[in-house]
Structure formats: C-alpha cells, structure tokens
Structure 1
Amino acid sequence: MTTAAIYVRISSDDTGEGLGVARQEAECRATAEQLGWTVTEVYRDNDISAYSGKLRPGYERLLSDVEAGTVRGLIVWHADRLHRSPKELERFIDLAERTRLQVQTVQSGRVDLSSPDGRMRARLLGTVARYESEHKSARIRLKMAQNAKDGKPHGGHRPYGWEPGRMIIRESEAAVIREATSRILAGEPLRSIFRDLNARGLHNASGKPWTHPTFRNVLLHARHAGLREHNGQEVSVAAWPAIIPPETWRAVRRVLNDPDRVTTPGRGGRLHLLSGIAVCGVCGSPLRVGHSRSTEAYRCMASACVSRRRDRLEEYVEAVVIARLSRADAAALLAPEDDGGERERAAQAAERVRQRLDDAAASFASGVITARQLATITGQLRPELAALEAAAAPPPDRASVLGELVTAGDVAKAWEALSPDARRTVVRLLMEIKVSRGRRGPGFSTDGIEIVWR
C-alpha cells in the first residue's frame, strides 16, 4: 500500500473559514481511497496565491519532506494547485525525478513526471495555468481601475467607520474619526489620541486595541472624505457619503505626513511642554530641552542663540495660560475665528489646480504631451497645491480643546489634571511663543519672552 500526502491551496479566502481547502481535501481523500493509498499528511496553504510569488509555508514543508523521503505519493485537486510559475514547476519536476515521487490529481488523473511525455504535459499545463493567472490579473487590474474611476468600492474586509457593504456609515465609529481628526488638527499627538480611545474601550474594526500604524492608516483613508483613491492617487468622488469634509481630511493628511513632525517624547520618555512650540526669538528655530551647566534648559537647537531654564519658562507660560482661561471673557476663546472667506477661496483655488493636474495626466495618457512635459507641469503645480491646501485647512475645534478648562470652577486644578499631551495642545492652540535672551543676573527674567495670542 502506498503512503501519500495531500496538498491543498486556495488563492483567496475572503471569509477566513477555509472552506475551499476543506472541499479540496475531501475530494483528495476520496481519490486516495479509490487508489488504495493511505494519507499520512495534509499540507495546506489557505488564502495564498501561487502566482503572486509569496512564500507558501505548506508547499515548502512538502518539498522538504519529499526531499527527505518521507513523502512517496502526492495527491492534489488539480496540477495548478501546485504551481502557476514555470520556474517553480521545473524545481518540482527535478525533485520528483530524483525521488520518484508519484503525483495524482483529482481532476485529470496521474501526472507522470518520470517520462518525457509526462513532463511535457505538465509543462503545457503549467504554461496554460500561467496564462490564465496573468489574464485574470490583467482583468482584475482593469476592473479595479474602472471601479475607482466610477467611485465604486473594492471588496475586502470592513473598513473602520463603515458597515460591511462599505457604502453606509457606521455612526458610532464615524464619531471617533471626527473626534480624532479634530484633535489632530488641534495639535494633539496621534499616540495620545489612540491611547485615550483604547482606555475608553473604543477599538478598531476587528475589536482589537489601536496601534500607531493601524490608527494612522485609518485616518489617512481618502474614503472618509468621500473620495476614491487608486494606486495612491485621488481619481474621483466616491459613490458613498463623506464622514469628514475633503479639506479637513487633506489637512489631517498633511499633518500626519509632515516629515518634520515630532511624534515621540524626548529623553527618558518625558514630554516637555514647549518643545517644538516655542521658537528662538533670534533665528526662529524651534526650542528643545537640553542641559546647560547641569540644568535642564530650553535651547535653540540651530545656533544656540538662546538658553532658558526649562522649569522657570514652563511655570511662566502655564501661569499666563491659567490666568487667561480664568478671566470672565474666557468663553470668547471658544468661538471659531472669522477668516472673511479666505479658506473657502483657497479651497476653490486648490480644486482648480487639481483639475489642471488631472487635465495634464489625461493629455499625457492620450499622447498630447510627453512625460517630460507632464513632469514639468506637475513639478510647478504641486507646490502651489500644497500651499492652497494649507490655506484651506479648517481651524482647530477650539471648544473640544478648551471647553473643560473654560467651564472649570478651578482652572489651575483642571490644568493640573490634563495629560502632558493635552497641555501642549492647549498651548499650541492659544499662543505663539518667541524666546529671546533675557537680562543677565540672578533670578528668572521674563524679558525677551514674547507671547502672541492666536
């Protein structure tokens, strides 16, 4: 009696239930029974394409066992379950010849790799399978491009903020996206936001706690703005509604993609109140905390123009903030600023620039302009678009940042209760701080500290 192994594989398993490989295995076992073979091992690769070139753990383990001589017979549902690459097929043929492996398929019977005719048949089947995979891949790419152009969604797992059909907003999650967007535009770090959400039990679409990469990726999805992206480019207005306005999403994207954005605490995991917020009054560079004569100090990191004791400068700024929020007219700080329509005009101008970029891409696609001309046009328009998008960015939601402080009976106590991230967000929202050299002598001097209210 021949001892045999079964190999089963399916390229795509959207449900994650493994039903496709289970059906293959059942039919392979039936074939083994007909042949009088005893199945000793089943090798599985679920949701892995043979055409993609990705490592298939089950397949690699099978080859190792064939090489070791522990597998003498192999049953597969169809030869294309084993290979869709001529390179892989040749490797398998060489191994089968050396080990005299018997190969049987459910669909087409025996595959004799010991004879020239059998190997030719296997190669022909492999060539056909490769053609079918390439043809299918081309059809899928065309379909995905057309779906994107029409504003339709692709398939896949349920995205956060949306019901399984990907067309209807899930309001409970959409509220989280809106809140996070507002907090990011107010200057709060991503880390602080998702940690807060996790503490409140507001987890991702899989029900798991947020991590930095997954939370960032969710907020960068164009679908939340009612836009359709394809290959990283905006291609159309989506067929689904928007959770947040497009200009708000673009502002968030600009913040999260800013290479100069500081996203981690300083030395020892400490987050200093004014790092990166206060600037040097001499050269305009951001101030960071360093050591000056064994004392922590805010220093100009570009040219060492300024050095001020960290604790004294922070105490002064905190006192100014608390005093302003304790005033009778503090509620006025919650009112959104009136920009006289500047943001709307910038948004309209940005849309016109995007249309010019789309027209240039269409002209290149139709052969009207060359690749060099397209690059020139794009190079000129991209900086203009970035400036307009920055001007069109919505203002931070001041009420969400300052509301609890303004309404607190004891502002100083409410300030102390805030996290370091939240305090930095308040300072960034309320003021611009320039620090110049102070007068020499004992004690801390407020000379040279300029605070401009936003």
Structure 2
Amino acid sequence: MGAYARASEDKALRANAADWRETGEQVAQQFRDMDELAPMLGVTITRRYNDNNTPASDPRIVRNGFESMLVDLENGTIRGILFYHSDRLVRQEYDAARLNRLFQLNPQYLGRAVVGGTDLSAQEGRSMLTIQATMGGMEVYSTKRRVARKNKGLAERGHMHGAPRPFGWAEDRQTLHDTEAEVLRQAIIAIPSGLTVGEIRKQWIELGYTPTRNKKKSGTQSLQHSTVESRLVSPRVCGYRTYLPQAERSGAKRPWMPDFVVYEAGKPVMGDWEAVVSPEEWQACVATIEERKQARKEVRAVHTTSAKYLLSGIARCGKCSFPLMSNQYAKGTTSYERYGYRYACLTTLGGCGGVTRVDPLMDDLVEKAFLLEVRRSLGMAAKDEDVDETEHDVRLAEIGQEIEEVNERRRAKRISMGTALDMIEELEAERDELNRQRRKLFAVRVRRQNASSSLLEGWKECTISQKKTWLRESVRAVMVHPAGRGKKFDPSLIEVVWAEDEQ
C-alpha cells in the first residue's frame, strides 16, 4: 500500500536549507494520520510519496511523487493508496481521470482518504473525486482572479503588495538600505557612461553580494547576469509602479519589467517607497541596455559590449574602409613581448589586408586626441538643444486620454469589448514605442551631461567599455592609412574623424 502526501507551501519550514522539498510539518502530519488509518483497514504502508511545496493546480508543474505513484499503481508495485483528502491528491480533472482509470482497471485496489470519505475502489467515490477536482480547480481560478484584480488595483494606486525584500531597500521595502541603495545607484548611472552589466556583476560579487532569494538551493549562490540586469532595469528604482499579469509571470522568458509600468492618464503611477534614482537616470540606463541588446541581436561586427580592445571596430582601414580587428602577435616574438597585440584589416573577415598597426601606440594617440577635444569643448556652451527628451510627452498624454475615452465608450456599450481591446492594444503599443524612444533621448542627454571635467579626472580609472562609449559619442571613425612594411609608427597616418564633422 502506498501513502501520498502533499502541501502547496510549507510556510513553517520554507526557510530551512537543502531538504526543503523532502521535509515539512504538514506532510509529516498527513503521513502520521495515514499511519493511524492503515491498521484499521488491515493494510501496511510500504511506500511513501511526498510532494511537499508542490502545487497541484498548475498544469505546468510536474509532481514527481504523484507521477511515481501512478507508475507504481500501473505496474502493481503497490495495490492501492491512502491520502489525507482528495484536494491533497488532485486539483485538476486530468489528474483525476488518470487516477480513476487505474482503479477502474484494477477493482481490487484500495484507495481511501483519511478525511472526506473518498473511496476510489467504488464508482461513486471516483465520480466524487472528479467533481471535487473540478470544483477545486474553479476555486483556485477564482482565487487567482481576485488576487490579480486586487494586485492590479494596488498597483494603480501606487501601493505595494507582499513580496521579498528587493535589493536596495530595507526590510520594510519602503526606506532605502544603508549601503545597497548607493551601490545600486552608482551602477545605474554608470551604465550610460559605458560600464557593462557584466562588469557591474563582477564588482558586486567582489563586494560579497549574493541573490536575495534562494529558497530552492542551499549554500552561497553566485549572482547571475540576469539577476543583476533585472535589478538595474526595474522601474521600482525610480519609484514607478509595475503590474505583471500571472500569464507573463509564468512564462519561460524573464519579463522585461520596463514594459509593465502602470500608467494613469498617460503618466506612470508612482509607488509609496523611496526611489534610488530619478526617472531620467533610470530611463537612460534602460535605453542603453536596450541598445546593447539590439546590437547583439543584429550580430554586428562591432557593438558596445566588445570591451577587450579600445579601437576594435572604431578603427578602419584607410585603403578599403573595412573595420580593423585586434589580434595578438605570435607568442615568443619580439613584437609580442613589446606590444602584445595589433590592429589589422583581416582578409579572413572580408578586408583587403593592406593595413596593420600596433595597438598600444594607436590607442594612446587617439586617447590623447579625444581628451584634448573634451578640454576644448568644456570651454564652449553645451549643445543640448538638439536633444529634447520631452518631444513625445504631448502624444503620451493624448494616448492616456484616448484609452480612457475608449473605456468610457465600452462601459456605455457604444462599442463592443473586442473593438475596445483592439483599440486599446494599438494605443498601448504606440505608447510603449514612444517610451522606448524617450528613454533613448534621456540616455543621450545623460551621457552628454557626464562629459565634463569629471571625465578628464577619472579617465584613467574608466574601464575599456566605458572609454569606448565616450569615444563613440565624439569619434565617428579612426582611419588608419597604409604605411608600408618596416616603417616606424607615423601619427600623421592616423586620421580621427569626429562625429561633428559629418553635420
């Protein structure tokens, strides 16, 4: 005889470590009740099936204990089961049908509940199991619908609902953490300046930060790249409220939270907690990360995350204009010992092979030219008039009003629900695209504002990826003209094409 026990969430022991699925007071009590029932029925429990901390109402979740029990019933390893109550055994009609089939094929099997009176050896008991599973599924669905409506209402009013402590906030989830908030702020404002998510991850690991949520695994778990990125792009950091529908939450892909900001009258709803950064700083960070993601999707030869060499992709062959790539000299050679690497127009990638130049000398030359240009520009008036991040604000406000007008027409039954949804989805798509463009404009402005004397003072401490980001703001390309074999490095053959020269 088998004994099956299950609990959706063992709250009493969920904070315990490695054996969080195997132990739990709720399932232990269910097994004790079944141990008391077994002698009364004249049977002996030989196998136990434990699905602690495992919901039965989600069709995407596989219950290993339940599946093992079905296999053992199928092959005759056990000749019946005891369970505490039908809702511990099944919560879906599909699972009830699978179990009923086995008991129909094996009338000698015994299947009894401790409470509730369910008897699977009788047709009436199997019918009752199906009915209880159906009603249980309806109850779960109704509860989820009510909770979703409540959470969305809280989001629209700017309030929080229950969740673990987010990185950057204290235990009350409203006031900022003494140290984490500043670490998070510095990372967010550094992204538009060229720092990558991977570099921030390394910094945080060196500082000793680990995931704040780790129920399923014991011990120290290293920060994942996706975890760091989700912290940086979370609208929460600038005070924006979000609402993530359960359908999106349960998806295989990690949701892009900037797309789930809650709006009212075309404006983001602000939460009732302290913000880490301003909305402008957050938008600049998100826009920069979105640009980098898009660059990777397009599989460009050069993108902002290529951070090993300063001018790879920026430098171009003066003979065929093909991007120069960096490669190492052969180890053991004098050139390797002296320089390490070089820029070359590689024929294997489609270049002409007519230009090769020593990397460190070129890097130093271009860096000096760039810093001289920065010093010169500091004495000039800032040219921000071409960056107007508010250019979409009027249309965004109009979209919010139009969505409300559509809802009013639907409530007045002047248009159907389907027509209303079509119109609202079209407006929401336009709003999302305008917000993405708005974030890009903020990123440009933030990068320009940061190009000040502080850049000159901290240039040596910048990472390669940060330096490349600054260079790309001012340098269109670095043209490297042929010099001939054996000739010394000639700075006059290096031509810096400034971005402003194309205007």
Instruction: Give TM-score scaled by structure 2 length.
Output: 0.71
Partner SS for 1:435: strand
Q: Distance in 2 between matches of 1:194 and 1:351?
A: 34
**Hey, what does 1:434 align to over in structure 2?**
477
The separation in 1 between residues aligned to 2:147 and 2:113, in whole angstroms, is 28
The answer to whether the aligner puts 1:289 opposite 2:325 as a matched pair is: yes
Output the CA distance in 1 between the equivalents of 2:102 and 2:379: 75
User: Compared with structure 1, are the counterparts of its residues 261 and 298 closer, same or farther at alpha carbon in structure 2 (3 Å cutoff)?
Assistant: farther
Q: Residue 306 of structure 1 contacts residue 437 of structure 1 at CA under 8 Å; is this kept in 2?
A: no
Deviation, 1:320, is 4.2
Partner of 1:355: 397
Q: Which range is displaced more, 194-203 or 301-310?
A: 301-310
1:202 and 2:252 aligned: no
In the alignment, the residues of structure 1 paired with residue 174 and residue 187 of structure 2 have an alpha-carbon distance, to the nearest angstrom, of 21
What CA distance in whole angstroms lies between the structure 2 residues aligned with 1:218 and 1:70?
Answer: 49
Do the aligned partners of 1:333 and 1:398 also contact (CA within 8 Å) in 2?
Answer: no
Per mean C-alpha deviation after superposition, the further-off stretch among 248-257 and 67-76 is 67-76
Cα distance per residue 1:342-393 (max 9 Å; x no partner): 76x62x4444443333333333444367555446555655554433332233
Find out whether 1:29 has 2:32 as its counterpart: yes
* C-alpha contact 1:183 1:401 (8 A) present in aligned 2: no
Is 392-401 or 270-279 further displaced after alignment? Answer: 392-401
Over residues 173-217 of structure 1, what are the superposed CA-to-partner deviations in whole Å (9 max), with x where a residue is unaligned? 111211211221111221122112212323332564322111111
Secondary structure of the 1:185 match is: coil
Distance 2:100 2:239 in 1: 51
The 1-side partners of 2:374 and 2:222 are apart by 37
* CA deviations over 1:116-142 (Å, ceiling 9, x no partner): 222222222122112111111211221
Partner Cα separation in structure 2 for residue 380 and residue 55 of structure 1:
39
Q: 1:309 aligns with which of 356, 380, 404?
A: 356
Q: Secondary structure at the match of 2:241?
A: strand
Instruction: For 1:123-272, list aligned pairs within 5 A.
Output: 123-206=130-213, 208-231=221-244, 232-235=259-262, 236-258=269-291, 259-261=293-295, 271-272=308-309
Seen in structure 2, the aligned counterparts of structure 1 residues 151 and 67 have a Cα distance that, compared at 3 Å, is same
Could you tell me how far 1:90 is from its partner in structure 2? 0.3
> Measured at CA, do residues 302 and 349 of structure 1 come closer, stay the same or move farther in structure 2, by a change above 3 Å?
farther
Aligned 8 A contact 1:8 1:21 in 2: no
* Cα displacement (A) at 1:170: 1.3
User: Which residue does 2:312 correspond to in 1?
Assistant: 275
Ranked by relative contact order (alpha carbons within 8 Å, sequence separation 6 or more), the top structure is 2
The letter for the 2-side match of 1:177 is L
Residues 243 and 163 of structure 1: CA distance in aligned 2, closer, same or farther (over 3 Å): same
* Distance in structure 2 (CA, Å) of the matches to 1:118 and 1:335: 87
Is contact 1:14–1:156 with CA below 8 Å preserved after alignment?
Answer: no
- 1:155–1:342 distance in 2 versus 1, CA, 3 Å: farther
- Matching residue's letter, 1:316: M
Q: Does 1:7 align with 2:49?
A: no
RMSD of aligned Cα (Å): 4.3
User: TM-score scaled by structure 1?
Assistant: 0.78
Select the structure that is richer in strand. Answer: 1
Residue aligning to 2:466: 425
Task: Specify whether residues 256 and 422 from structure 1 end up closer, same or farther in structure 2 by C-alpha distance, changes over 3 A only.
Answer: same
SS at match of 2:111: strand
Q: Name the counterpart of 1:411.
A: none
C-alpha contact (below 8 Å) 1:73/1:102 kept by paired residues: yes
Partner residue in 2 for 1:412: none
Question: 1:234 corresponds to which letter in structure 2?
Answer: V
Q: Which residue of 2 aligns with 1:409?
A: none
**Deviation sequence 1:313-339 (CA, Å, 0-9, x none):** x522323425876x8x99999999956
* Compared CA separation, residues 115 and 103, structure 1 to 2 (3 A): closer
Whole-angstrom distance in 2 between the partners of 1:143 and 1:335: 56
- Report the number of matched residues: 432
Question: Which amino acid in the other structure matches residue 251 of structure 1?
Answer: A
1:49 to 47, 51, 55: 55
Q: What amino acid is aligned across from residue 123 of structure 1 in structure 2? A: T
The unaligned stretches of length 5 or more in structure 2 are 214-219, 245-258, 263-268, 331-341
Give how far 1:42 is off. 3.0
**8 Å CA contact 2:314, 2:478 repeated in 1:** no
Q: Is the 8 A contact 1:280 1:300 kept in 2?
A: no
Give the Å deviation of 1:80.
Answer: 1.0
* Aligned mates of 1:119, 1:392 — CA distance in 2: 63
